[in-house]
């Protein structure tokens, strides 16, 4: 396995550094509901580690406060590879599907569930560049992701604070491509934040999911095991501490829907058991921008 990983790394480095045409194989993905380029199991260079010319994913397993946790670190070549998808590719369709099926349909390399936005009627919601909802309620933190796939947090977002944050980004030449209305923001610049632990069952031990930006085009997906029926898992404070301890370089880490919605998928394989798992309406995922294997999902 070590030899296979080494040979794969050498081959990709040679492609990127020695062959001028290799860069032409990395094509930015359109900002729409389409998916990524096909991925191949042959690009697994180790257990839980995937690499092609445009993306490198490493999965690690941890045991924290008597709880099994998983972290997927992701490095991408282009911002468009951080994407979102919604069930039936439609905002107004109340349809819920398994995370891994949605991930498979989009040729996802790594994916987690989103914020279950179809279940709620509040928030500032942009997905793949389209504004669907502008109703922040002053209760939840909002995560904004711009065209460079950089993260921005708007704490307890109101109409005024969202408007100001978006206006500031636009003044700097940026555009919001995706947003999430769940939270809270768990970690900023490596420091655990103060947040309302009563929101989203924060004081309960349960299964949780988060996404974080580590640096330019570098991210992490975080999962902690748990249950929706018995008190096992991590509280929100302990989950935030896990993130800060294991990725002290994290710029922003943001909590997504947990409990029965919590799913983490690598290619088409769910990495954990969620016996009480529910079908969901949206995912955030990382796709390949390498066209070496064929046509992209339309």
Residue 53 within any structural domain of the chain: yes
Q: What is the rounded CA–CA span in Å between residue 144 and residue 165?
A: 9
DSSP 77-92: SSGGGEEEEEGGG-SS
- Residue 293's pLDDT is what? 58
Q: Please indicate, yes or no, if residue 296 is contained in any of the structural domains.
A: no
Q: What value does the mean pLDDT take over residues 90-102?
A: 93
Give the number of residues written for the chain. 298
Nearest alpha-carbon partner for 201 in 222, 225, 228: 228
- The pLDDT value recorded for residue 237 is 97
What tens digit of pLDDT does each residue of 154-181 get?
999 999 999 999 999 999 999 999 999 9
Q: Is 178 helix (H, G, I), strand (E, B) or coil?
A: strand
Is 111 inside any structural domain? yes
Assigned domain for 294 exists: no
CA distances for 61 relative to 186, 221, 224, angstroms: 20, 12, 10
Range of 117's domain?
2-287
**What is the tally of structural domains in the chain?**
1
**How far is it, in rounded angstroms, from Cα 198 to Cα 236?**
10
In 3-state terms the chain splits into helix, strand, coil percentages (rounded to 5) of 25, 35, 40
Looking from the CA of 118 toward its CB, the CA atoms found within 13 Å total 20
Q: Residue 68 burial by CB count (10 A; 0-12/13-18/19+): exposed, middle or buried? A: middle
With respect to residue 67, please indicate whether it lies within any of the assigned structural domains: yes
* Of the candidate ranges 89-93, 96-100, 123-127, 271-275, the one whose mean pLDDT is the lowest: 271-275
pLDDT given at position 298: 56
Share of the chain above pLDDT 90, in %: 76
Spatial separation of the C-alpha atoms in residues 192 and 41, rounded to whole Å: 36
For Cα atoms 49, 50, 51, give the angle at the middle one, nearest 5 degrees: 130
For the stretch 104-137, pLDDT in tens is 999 999 999 999 999 999 999 999 999 999 999 9
Does residue 22 register a pLDDT over 50? Answer: no
Query: What average pLDDT does the segment 62-74 reach?
Result: 97
HSE-up of 24 (CA within 13 Å, CB side)?
3
Q: What percent of the chain has pLDDT over 70?
A: 89
| 295 domain-assigned | no
Domain presence at residue 106: yes
Q: Indicate whether 240 pLDDT > 50.
A: yes
The answer to whether residue 297 sits within a structural domain is no
Per-residue pLDDT, 5: 58
Residue-wise pLDDT for 29-46, tens only, equals: 999 999 999 988 889 888
> 42 — alpha (psi -120 to 50), left (phi > 0) or beta?
alpha
Is pTM beyond 0.85? Reply is yes
Residues with Cβ within 8 Å of residue 282, at least 6 apart in sequence:
84, 85, 86, 87, 102, 113, 114, 115, 116, 117, 118, 127
Q: What is the mean pLDDT of the chain?
A: 90
Positive or negative, the CA dihedral 75, 77, 78, 81 is negative
């Amino acid at each position: 396995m070590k030899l296979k990983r080494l040979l794969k790394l050498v081959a990709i480095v040679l492609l990127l550094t020695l062959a001028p045409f290799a860069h032409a194989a990395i094509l930015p993905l359109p900002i729409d509901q389409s998916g990524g380029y096909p991925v191949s199991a042959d690009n697994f260079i180790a257990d839980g580690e995937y690499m092609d010319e445009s993306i490198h994913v490493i999965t690690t397993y941890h045991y924290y406060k008597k709880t099994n946790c998983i972290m997927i670190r992701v490095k991408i070549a282009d911002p468009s590879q951080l994407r979102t998808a919604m069930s039936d590719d439609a905002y107004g369709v109340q349809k819920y599907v398994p995370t891994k099926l949605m991930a498979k349909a989009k040729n996802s390399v790594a994916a987690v569930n989103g914020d279950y936005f179809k279940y709620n009627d509040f928030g500032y919601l942009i997905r793949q560049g389209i504004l669907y909802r502008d109703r922040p309620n002053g209760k939840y933190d909002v995560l904004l992701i711009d065209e460079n796939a950089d993260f921005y947090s708007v704490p307890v977002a109101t109409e005024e604070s969202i408007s100001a944050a978006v206006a500031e980004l636009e003044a700097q030449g940026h555009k919001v491509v995706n947003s999430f209305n769940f939270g809270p923001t768990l970690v900023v610049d490596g420091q655990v934040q103060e947040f309302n632990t009563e929101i989203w069952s924060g004081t309960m031990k349960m299964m949780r999911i988060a996404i974080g930006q580590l640096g330019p085009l570098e991210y992490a997906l975080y999962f902690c095991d748990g249950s929706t029926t018995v008190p096992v898992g991590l509280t929100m404070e302990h989950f935030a501490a896990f993130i800060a301890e294991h990725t002290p370089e994290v710029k922003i880490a943001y909590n997504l829907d947990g409990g029965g919605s919590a799913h983490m998928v690598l290619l088409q394989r769910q990495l954990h058991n969620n016996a009480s798992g529910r079908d969901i309406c949206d995912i955030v995922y990382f796709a390949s921008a390498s066209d070496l294997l064929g046509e992209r999902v339309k």
